[in-house]
Structure 1
Amino acid sequence: MPQHMPMSPWTREELERRFARSDDPEIEARRQEILQTLLAHSPDVKRQIIGEGQLIEARAVLRRVLARRGLALTSTQEAQIDGCSDLATLERWHDQAVTASSAEEALA
């Protein structure tokens, strides 16, 4: 018997229903414990989640610096930032945004 089988749509829906956030502190504590246990046994998934969080934060910080400097973004530049999945590039743009005279120069 295979150890891992694809998850059916029904199973996914059931998991989402059963593990949805709850206002009940006891249920929420159990949900968090289950999530921590699953992540402890899935280091690749944990790294992926952390990496995505770092990208989200880097995009937000970049936008904050640009806004504070009064460097307005075009819709194309917004899409460029949203589409960037390389943390080093986002950090480079952030560093450039600190001294850039335009959003275009910051995102070069």
Structure 2
Amino acid sequence: MSRFTDVVGRLAETIESRRGGDTSKSYTAQLLGDMDRAAKKMGEEAVETVIAAAQGDREALTAESADLLYHWLVLIAAAGVSLDEVAEKLEAREGTSGLAEKAARKA
């Protein structure tokens, strides 16, 4: 798990370093400056990930998952949401059944 954590951490730092960058040279800077585009791109990658999974295409699922994670990181950065904030939400759910957590949201 540490390799994944390290890679995601480095990617998040790279994304942040592109904030305010030259949009003619950086796709990430373009997305960071356009929340609507970033959200749509993440949605597109999510659909592609689901399709790869449904088709049982392991290689495509792996590649699309990487694309999805990149676009998710860009989207939350564009929205000003930190990885620590996401981690806080996940930690609050630790030890709670997924079914119980969903039921609590409806209440």
Confirm or deny a common fold (TM above 0.5): no
TM-score, length of structure 2 as denominator length: 0.35
- Larger RCO (CA under 8 A, 6+ residues apart): 2
**Bigger radius of gyration:** 1
